[in-house]
Structure 1
Amino acid sequence: MSVKKIYLIRHGQTDFNVQNIVQGSGIDSDLNEKGRQQAAQFFAAYKQMPFDKVYTSVLRRTHQSVQGFLDMGLPHEQYAALNEISWGVREGTRITAEEDAEYHGVLAQWNRGETHARLTGGESPDEVAARQRPFIELLTSRPEEENVLVCMHGRAMRVLLCQLLGYPLRRMDAFEHRNLCLYKVHYTGSMFTVRNFLDVAHLE
């Protein structure tokens, strides 16, 4: 098969991002003005790319981040598998000092390889990885889609990149992210490689 090129982006900025309010999979927020500008900048840079399919999570902020491509009539599929991790009872709240300690405690567990850990009522990285695997199988089973655009969320993107590249989930924080950043990934039919890492040239 020819090389499949996957353009993996995080959604644009929301007011929750600016206000340090936890979103996760349970908060279906909209892009703010800055986020819409970021989406427009990405579209301007990549509108000539012959994408065969656009994939998003089921959350509005990913749809809005690729709206320019959807308006072109490109085929679009949405999957809950691409949703952000659930942060449980923390979603929709501003992190307090006490909760921040709990949050960083869970991150420390993940960095030690305890990726079964979760915040109260939330998901673990292991659970996110499990729900992503059917999507990865779908993505790799469609060789006719040579150029695909995938829009998702920060923590879930880290989990996905670990799975694609064969990294243990404890290494997921190596994959930094920013609003509307791009990771370009190539798939040869047997392995994935990252060609663009945290690419934000389109936002400059």
Structure 2
Amino acid sequence: MPHDRPGLPVTVFLVRHGETPMHAENRYVGRTDAPLTDLGHEQAVELGEWAAQAKLTAIVSSTLRRARDTAEPAVRKTGLRAPVDERLVELDFGTAEGLTAAEMRERFPHERAAFEADPYANPLPGGESPSAALARGRAALADISNGESGDRVLVVAHGTFLRIVVCDLLGIPPRAFRTALPVIRNATGAVLRRDHAGRWGLMAWNPPLGAGTETW
């Protein structure tokens, strides 16, 4: 399903940032500007080694620190600039920010149950509407893939945001993002290709991105 104007085929590497202390504990982190862990920095370095051979034409990052720090080794290795785009930030999880799923079930069981039944229609208490996140994600991806950034673009963003956007681009109902795409690992994500007619296809999901791995 096209979301942008026709043009040359473009490959977009939609990558989740490296690990943070909150993610290491399975806590929800949305707008909190969390740093990377030591492992997260190692994952970023590996991504940079992959970027060195990937013939990228552009790198774009969320404004949040964990995304910018994940993109930084790729910037060094390629010599490309890495503009930031606020439309790529993670969803705001409201009062669920910093909590585990178990803690949410204790503090607001009904809202958590509704979220688990349909996370798209029932955002976490005080959190951003997933439809609003999808709208900004659609707009960002349309600009990123319009050809002005070349035909091989690395985008460093966030897990929930990416799963919602990828579902939409592939024609999967966004409400199914937690079941259709249950796992998105750090420093990897989706390799997508948009054809000349603006249709999106999935080339890979959670592939290893490091020195000597596939570059598509």
Q: Same fold (TM over 0.5)?
A: yes
From 153, 157, 170, the equivalent of 2:175 is 170
SS of the residue corresponding to residue 155 of structure 2 reads: strand
| Equivalent position amino acid for 2:201 in 1 | T
SS of the residue corresponding to residue 77 of structure 1 reads: coil
| Corresponding residue number in structure 1 for 2:13 | 7
C-alpha distance in structure 2 between counterparts of 1:70 and 1:119, whole Å: 35
Is 2:99 the partner of 1:90?
A: no
| Equivalent position amino acid for 1:131 in 2 | R
From 164, 182, 190, the equivalent of 1:183 is 190
CA separation of 1:107 and 1:127: change in aligned 2, threshold 3 A: farther
1:29-58 residue CA offsets vs partner (Å, 9 max, x unmatched) = 111100011111122223122211111111
From 61, 65, 69, the equivalent of 2:66 is 61
SS of the residue corresponding to residue 58 of structure 1 reads: coil
List runs of 5+ in structure 2 lacking aligned partners: 1-6
Output the aligned Cα RMSD: 2.1
List runs of 5+ in structure 1 lacking aligned partners: none
From 38, 42, 50, the equivalent of 2:47 is 42
TM-score w.r.t. length of structure 1: 0.88
| Corresponding residue number in structure 1 for 2:4 | none
CA separation of 1:201 and 1:53: change in aligned 2, threshold 3 A: closer
1:41-190 equivalences under 5 Å are 41-71=46-76, 72-95=78-101, 96=103, 97-99=105-107, 101=109, 102-110=111-119, 115-142=120-147, 145-173=150-178, 174-175=180-181, 176-189=183-196, 190=198
C-alpha distance in structure 2 between counterparts of 1:144 and 1:18, whole Å: 33
CA separation of 1:130 and 1:144: change in aligned 2, threshold 3 A: closer
C-alpha distance in structure 2 between counterparts of 1:32 and 1:195, whole Å: 29
Greater mean alpha carbon deviation, residues 141-150 or residues 89-98: 89-98
Q: Give the Å deviation of 1:128.
A: 0.9
C-alpha distance in structure 1 between counterparts of 2:108 and 2:17, whole Å: 24
SS of the residue corresponding to residue 74 of structure 2 reads: helix
From 197, 200, 203, the equivalent of 2:208 is 200
1:102-128 residue CA offsets vs partner (Å, 9 max, x unmatched) = 434312123xxxx23211210121121
| Corresponding residue number in structure 1 for 2:22 | 16
| Equivalent position amino acid for 2:195 in 1 | T
Aligned pairs, number: 199
C-alpha distance in structure 2 between counterparts of 1:94 and 1:164, whole Å: 29
SS of the residue corresponding to residue 63 of structure 1 reads: helix
Q: Percent identity?
A: 26
